Amino acid sequence: MPGFFVKDKNTMEKRTFKAQKRTDYKAPLFTASHIDLTFELDDEKTLVKSVVKYKRLTDDLKAPLVLDGEDLVLNSVKVDGLACKYKVNKDKLEIANVPNEFVVEIENTINPTANTSLMGLYRSNGAFCTQCEPQGFRRITYFLDRSDVLATYRVTIYGPTYGCGVLLSNGNLIEQGTQKGREYAIWEDPFPKPSYLFALVAGTFDIVEDTFKTKSGRNVELKLYVDRGATCRGQFAMQCIKESMRWDEDRFNLEYDLDNFKVVAVDFFNFGAMENKSLNVFNSVYVMVDPDTATDTAFYNVQSVIGHEYFHNYTGDRVTLRDWFQLSLKESLTVFRDQEFSSDCANRALTRLHAINVIRSSQFAEDASPMAHPVRPEQVMEMNNFYTVTIYDKGAEIIRMIHTLIGEEKFKKALSYYLEKYDGQAVTIEDFLVCMEEKGEIDLTQFRRWYTQAGTPNVDAKWHYDKENSKLVLKLSQHTNPTPDQSEKLPFFMPIRISFLDNEGHEVRPKELSFKDYIILNEEEQEYTFTLSENVLPVLLCDFSAPVKLNAPYTTANLQHMMSFSADPFIKVDSAVNMQKQYVHENIKNLKNGAAVTDPIELISSYRQLLSSVDEKTDLILLNETMKIQSVASLMETFDLIEIDQLSAVRTMLVNKIACALEKEFTNLYSKIRASSANYSVDNMGRRFTMLFSNLLTIFAALITLVSIILGSLPVC
């Protein structure tokens, strides 16, 4: 999962981009089955020798072998050990008259120090490193640099004359030693992989070491390579590696497949994180935490990102993507898996609420912008443009909807079937969906529109009670606004999780939902009836079961009821947020009309109830998220025309009134939830989150009281 990087300005100016279309995909004319690579590392003149076994896949015997290459100095080319004729264009090497099966030997030179594109092999901070996703391998040597060409690799690395005590590549270490005064290492990866998963790292590092015993009894050597002097900041990352490996075994029955697992976490890596087979590489900011200074959020994020890259071992490495238009195939599935990992190992409510926030802020904004695109785009100007919140995070919500529709057990069976059927292959989103259909026993034909249509669906809801038949009648409709290149949208297929609360706050289940907790919306308008008593409130979109905007006629009293009694974390938090937004909108109108700002009676009442019921079983993280006052930026999103001064004033009034009204409750809460230690744990994280929030409001209320004593009044409470 590449993060961010900066292209060389001069390179960008010289390159010309032509739109590439998904429908233009053509299978390769040749494939490679095995590649031997030898690197003689040098700061400015690294010698690369490749010996590749190729095989013709086309019946056209006249078709030449055409290899990709960029910024390479070509020294020699041989076919089956003999010199051959070839042509070199700007970024292609063409060899004609090749047999059906043959070996190509290429020797070329590259300059890692001058490689400011940071793709391929580059040198930074005295070390050598590679980044090959999506198309960086062509900057190392001439090759079929495609995601659908998979080969096994044997890599021999000769270190430079100084400064590289560690020589790493994918797979298992076969041999290491010294030859002619230079350190060398030989690595072999027995699992076929595309060139974008190739990795090489050479430098001087400190090492955090451990072992992991798989469920079948194999001992896996774990090594975390870090910048010199940083081992103490890598201990938690090593713990997370072991947690990830154990979780993947327990949840999805996926056991690690090599003798070692290596992670490099260094300051000089400029791509965020990358899942190269058995050699994950990170920028240290994502995985290194100082126990004495790092925040709880930093620890939580390290666990997530370590898990994400490790989980790619199967969903991305062992089964990879046919072409880059299928990027969501590996990324969204792995995002879903890392979210479930954080949910199981950290806090489910916090993980889900964070994922929902990403969708409703960044992804919805992308859907509403000129950059809107489907989860599986139809065309692109440059491959690096694929790395978007739509492809990653909206794609993960699509996977989650499938999980909702077929359930945990069928999803696990379908995923296992997918990984076994396509092991060692490059496939498409369609291949994945067919596996979900077969083992999930579901028809996903209409559901596929989530991959082909851009934009955020708007779901409108209304309901009434039919006294004569004792039925609650719910009507839902959906529409999606036009996006660039897609003026008309067809109805999506989506699960809408639903529950019902009676007047006393008890959840009631109608007979129509005896075996599931969701309804299907797959038409523009649909009507649903439920056998219920009167005055039962429908609670829609529980767990944010589809990435949509819900417009429902909830009153402030309805929201208060849901916040107080719903067991669903998303509904509880979203109800509180909507109550805050309603309060802000109403009181901005009051200010415009010269009226006084009202008291947030319903919010105060609900918050008091939540605070008074806190005990040792309370999820303090969820409590904190529920009571958090929305930022000005978040509130701004609900306005067409923003009165920023009035918005800020009303929000400040809201904080003041809550702080004053609940000062006693916040003080009591603060006194009994102190964290047991300064160490990171989910329990301590929740306690610290809530302590900070309650302490800030308590101090705020005290300051307001002091001001009121001085002024003789309480103008703000």
Report the DSSP pairing between strands 379-380 and 494-501: unpaired
**What amino acid occupies position 431?**
D
Sequence-distant (6+) residues with CB within 8 A of 66 are 29, 92, 93, 94, 95
pLDDT of residue 675: 73
pLDDT of residue 66: 98
pLDDT of residue 678: 82
Q: Which of 134, 125, 133 is nearest to 163 (CA)?
A: 125
Count of residues making up the chain: 717
| Residues 433, 444: Cα–Cα separation, whole Å | 7
Enter the tokens of residue 423.
Answer: 């092991």
| Residues 364, 239: Cα–Cα separation, whole Å | 35
Give 659's strand partners: none
From 70, 105, 243, 309, active-site residue: 309
> Would you say the pTM of this structure is higher than 0.85?
yes
Is 309 known to be catalytic?
A: yes
Profile the chain (717 residues) by mean pLDDT over runs of 10 residues: 41 60 96 98 97 97 97 98 95 97 98 96 95 97 98 97 92 95 96 98 97 98 96 97 98 98 93 95 95 92 97 98 97 98 97 97 95 95 89 98 98 98 98 98 98 98 97 98 95 98 96 92 98 97 98 97 97 97 95 93 94 90 92 88 91 90 86 80 82 61 52 44
Enter the tokens of residue 670.
Answer: 């603060």
Print the SS3 string covering 396-416: HHHHHHHHHHHCHHHHHHHHH
pLDDT of residue 15: 52
**CB-CB contact of 43 with 97 (8 Å):** no
282 by DSSP, 3-state: which?
Answer: strand
pLDDT of residue 271: 84
